[in-house]
Amino acid sequence: MLAFRFLIFSFLSCTLIFGEYASAQDTTQYRVKPTVIELGFGMGGNIPAGDLKNRFGPNLNLSTHLHYISPKDFVMGGGLMFIFGDNVKEDVLAPFRTTTGVILGDDNQIADVFLRQRGLYLSADVGKLFPVSKKSRSGIMVMASGGILQHNIRFTDERNSVAQIRAGRSVGYDRLTRGFGLRQSIGYKHMSRDKRVNFEVLFDFIQGFTSEIRAVNFDTGLATISSRTDLLFGFRMKWNLPFYFGGKDDIIYY
């Protein structure tokens, strides 16, 4: 009986010692990345292609976004890009120009009329950040988005002297165009460990499958174009303001 008790005691002792040893071997320490809500502001430039290059030249853009970055570095959210420029190739006011190329106002004086490019891209974004190391959240970011692309010609009449574009009549000449858009972006995203310097440098490729909204263009008397492919290539620089939630060094027991 004494030998039997000693055997049971030895067995239980070995089991406890082995369990502690196994537990120590299965203890792992790793870094849980925080969730990030990020507000960003950017600016950049685009070069048009496809049908868009026949209407506008190069343009600039201002953008903003609100993104959620998960602990596993998946990115999702939405953004807005405002597009503007002064290089308008399609002269919709050509029928009203004199042989010298000027437009006369109601008072028979030369009118100060300028054509400008305006547009926007409203998007829903998804992507993935590939950090350069496990302890960093800076690295290569790949994004894709879908949304609405819109662009038009804006008129600035300094003396409000041209009847054809006054009091809302410009809608017959503004070439308002809208449709579904896609964007692919790739670039470098920096998120400093002290949370003070946070920026992105991105290359964008936008494809717009659009149509002109007005029924008729007043300058030509023809029906508007129902199917267009508008393309934009560009670079953007964005400055981000991140808000961190959670995240720490945890010890996990298996």
Q: What is the pLDDT of residues 55-74, one digit of tens each?
A: 999 999 999 999 999 999 99
**C-beta separation of 6 from 22 below 8 A:** no
- The dihedral over CA atoms of 146, 209, 203, 241, expressed in degrees to the nearest 10, equals -40
249 or 44, which is more confident? 44
Tokens for 52, please give them: 């868009």
Q: Which of 20-34, 117-131, 150-164 has the lowest mean pLDDT?
A: 20-34
- The angle subtended at Cα 138 by Cα 134 and Cα 143, nearest 5°, is 110
Inter-CA distances, 209 with 10, 150, 159, 235, Å: 78, 10, 37, 21
**C-beta separation of 128 from 74 below 8 A:** yes
Consecutive H or E run containing 23: helix 2-25
DSSP per-residue codes, 200-231: EEEEEEEEEEEEE-SSEETTTTEEPPS-EEEE
Query: Model-level pTM?
Result: 0.82
Distance CA 24, CA 37 (A): 36
SS3 of 161, please? coil
Query: Binning pLDDT at 50, 70 and 90, where does residue 4 land?
Result: very low
Q: What is the pLDDT of residues 110-122, one digit of tens each?
A: 999 999 999 999 9
pLDDT at 136: 85
Consecutive H or E run containing 147: strand 139-157
As a CATH number, domain 35-246 is: 2.40.160.20
Tokens for 176, please give them: 């308002």
DSSP per-residue codes, 55-103: TB--EEEEEEEEEEE-TT-EEEEEEEEEEEES-B-S-TTGGGB-TTS-B
